[in-house]
Structure 1
Amino acid sequence: MKTIDQDTLRTMTDADWRERLDELSYYVLRQKGTERAFTGIYTDTETAGTYHCKGCHAPLFSSTAKFHSGCGWPSFDQVIDKQAVDETLDLSHGMRRIEVTCHHCGGHLGHVFDDNYVTDTGLRYCINSAAIVLDADK
């Protein structure tokens, strides 16, 4: 699947997003929701490939950056490209976190935590399965 171009994204309405996405993906990507822990299809997946934004199909994470953190959501220690995501302070729900959104379409992906996991970066990108799609290596 091809990444949606910027001109198309700028003109997409809420109705367009609802038509493009399933209910849970719309809730996560467009309403900053969170799927329940341990329910996402990619939480324990070990398939090699590239994870793309489910909203616009921009590449976000390589499976080589994925690790099992036990948090209940797919975890990655780095993005595929520093410009792939935007990170902003999120003070919602009485917490202080860094929200991760797709740079291309603005869809909410999850949060990144600098909690010193034993990875190359010490980072844990905690990402909703409903916000991503895996293109498996062939």
Structure 2
Amino acid sequence: MDDNARSITEAEWRERLSAEQFHVLREAGTERAFTGKYDKFYEDGEYLCAACGTRLFISAAKYNSGCGWPAFTRPADGEVVEEHRDTSHGMIRTEVTCGNCGGHLGHVFPDGPPEEGGLRYCINSAALTFAPESGESAE
């Protein structure tokens, strides 16, 4: 995890991230539905922030919501993600960002599985990297 992630400049982010990752994480962009590498990916392991490496979600909380993006019922730990009111695109939504670097991850909606708390964290694949349960990076 990059502990100094909040002090990285936009120019440095452009060097570190792919064009798609930069668009999603730093410009609050969204990848097209059903195109992300983790949408239909169900290996055991952890999902990390593609920008700073913070552990954000675990495979046990991932489910197939059918929305076209990876969906999780909860973050890995209590404060690894931050929530913000988002009024862009003529809608009122709750944006989810990395609690460490501030990178845009996606949005959280109240239409998740009721038995799991009722939330659906709808996250862009481009905002994530995956670490298999063995601890080795899949990237």
Under TM normalisation by the shorter chain, which class is it? over 0.9
> Which runs of at least 4 in structure 1 moved beyond 4 Å after TM superposition?
none
Alignment equivalent of 1:59, drawn from 55, 58, 64: 55
3-state SS of paired residue (2:84):
strand
Q: Give me the TM-score of the superposition, normalised by structure 2.
A: 0.93
Deviations 1:3-36 (A, max 9, x none): 0122xx2431111100100000000000000000
Gaps of 5+ in 2: 135-139
Closer, same or farther in 2 for the Cα pair 1:40/1:133, shift >3 Å? same
Q: Give me the TM-score of the superposition, normalised by structure 1.
A: 0.94
* Percent of aligned pairs sharing the same letter: 52
Gaps of 5+ in 1: none
Q: Report deviation, 1:115.
A: 1.6
Conservation of the 8 A alpha-carbon contact between 2:6 and 2:102: no
CA-based RMSD: 1.0
Conservation of the 8 A alpha-carbon contact between 1:109 and 1:131: yes
In 2, distance between residues paired with 1:110 and 1:10? 19
- What corresponds to 2:42 in structure 1? 46
Q: Report deviation, 1:116.
A: 4.4
